[in-house]
């Protein structure tokens, strides 16, 4: 009887051990991930995983700058800051200075002007009582010519030569007749262009002039004609030369004061034919 009771108690002990082992195995599998060892024990004072993540954000292992910050409950989304676009502006380029602008003064010239001076050749009285005088050096003037300025000292001063051929005309008279004076000036000389600014120059010229083919003619009560012989005289001129932007910088304007000397002779008589006037020139460099 005692042997049977001992055998029964031993079976109960074995059955209790088997049941305890079966309960402990699933608990260990749930506590540790697959393939990993058992997690170390924590005390009640250890921070929870949530606390450690919050502390890490403030500690040395904080998120890198620019990383998104996790939102908390009730927090509205924040818009990303706008970055101003970078616009590339190319550096300004210097305007190319063409040779014509650097060294002007070579090309075709058209001159227009008005002159006065010299001895009085005739006087006409008009019906209104006013008088008109025909002078040896006076008249309106038009010419065509050219300038050539090949020698330059840097971009400051240029030297060259030029010439022109033109016509000068003056007339007086009334209802009973007219008296006119015609001549054809030929002139030339050496000139200089002195730069004042990028487009402005001082123009100086010295040379000679002779008026050929001169004639004094009349109609009506003063009909008739008389040829004139003119001497070679001195030419002096000074003014301003401006390079325009017209025609791609190939146009220029010249405004000068011109003075010439000379003498007119007819029938053994000689009169002074000095003249002074303003000349406007249009210059084109092809």
Per-residue pLDDT reduced to its tens digit, 154-168: 999 999 999 999 999
Q: Considering only CA atoms, which of 280, 278, 279, 276 is closest in space to residue 137? A: 276
Contact (Cβ atoms closer than 8 angstroms) between residue 135 and residue 170 = yes
Q: Where are the beta strands (DSSP E) in the chain?
A: 107-116, 120-125, 131-135, 139-153, 157-174, 177-195, 200-220, 224-227, 229-230, 233-243, 251-260, 263-266, 269-272, 275-284
Cβ neighbours of residue 258 closer than 8 Å, sequence gap 6 or more: 113, 115, 235, 236, 237, 276, 277, 278, 279
**Distance between CA atoms of 71 and 225, rounded to whole angstroms?**
114
Quick one: pLDDT band at residue 17, thresholds 50, 70, 90? low
**What is the pLDDT, as a whole number, of residue 35?**
43
Query: Per-residue pLDDT tens for 200-238?
Result: 999 999 999 999 998 888 887 767 788 888 899 999 999
| pTM score, whole prediction | 0.64
CA angle 72, 78, 83 (to 5 degrees): 145
**What is the pLDDT, as a whole number, of residue 179?**
87
Quick one: pLDDT band at residue 279, thresholds 50, 70, 90? very high
- Is the pLDDT at 259 greater than 70? The verdict is yes
- What is the overall mean pLDDT for the chain? 78
Contact (Cβ atoms closer than 8 angstroms) between residue 232 and residue 270 = no
**What is the pLDDT, as a whole number, of residue 15?**
56
Give the 3-state secondary structure of residue 17: helix
Cβ neighbours of residue 234 closer than 8 Å, sequence gap 6 or more: 206, 208, 209, 260, 261
Give the 3-state secondary structure of residue 125: strand
Cβ neighbours of residue 151 closer than 8 Å, sequence gap 6 or more: 158, 159, 160
Helix residue spans in the chain (DSSP H): 2-31, 49-58, 99-102, 246-249
Contact (Cβ atoms closer than 8 angstroms) between residue 106 and residue 126 = no
**What is the pLDDT, as a whole number, of residue 69?**
58
């Amino acid at each position: 009887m005692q042997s049977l009771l001992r055998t029964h108690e031993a079976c109960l002990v074995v059955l209790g051990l088997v049941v305890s082992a079966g309960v402990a195995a699933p608990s260990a599998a749930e506590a540790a991930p697959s393939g990993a060892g058992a997690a170390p024990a924590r005390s009640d004072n250890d921070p929870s995983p949530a606390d450690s993540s919050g502390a890490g954000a403030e500690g040395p292992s904080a998120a890198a700058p620019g990383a998104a910050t996790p939102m908390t409950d009730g927090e509205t989304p924040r818009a990303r800051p706008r970055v101003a676009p970078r616009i590339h502006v190319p550096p300004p380029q210097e305007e190319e200075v063409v040779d014509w602008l650097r060294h002007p003064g070579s090309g075709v010239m058209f001159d227009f002007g008005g002159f006065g001076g010299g001895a009085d050749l005739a006087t006409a009285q008009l019906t209104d009582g006013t008088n008109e005088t025909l002078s040896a050096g006076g008249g309106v003037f038009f010419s065509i010519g050219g300038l050539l300025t090949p020698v330059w000292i840097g971009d400051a001063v240029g030297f060259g030569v030029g010439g022109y051929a033109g016509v000068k005309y003056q007339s007086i008279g009334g209802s009973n007749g007219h008296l006119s004076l015609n001549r054809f000036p030929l002139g030339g000389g050496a000139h200089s262009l002195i730069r004042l600014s990028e487009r402005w120059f001082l123009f100086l010229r010295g040379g000679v002039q002779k008026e050929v083919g001169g004639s004094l003619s009349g109609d009506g009560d003063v009909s008739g004609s008389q040829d004139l012989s003119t001497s070679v005289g001195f030419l002096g001129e000074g003014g301003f030369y401006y390079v325009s932007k017209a025609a791609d910088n190939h146009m220029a304007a010249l405004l000068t004061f011109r003075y010439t000397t000379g003498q007119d002779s007819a029938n053994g008589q000689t009169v002074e034919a000095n003249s002074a006037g303003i000349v406007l020139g249009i210059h084109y460099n092809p």
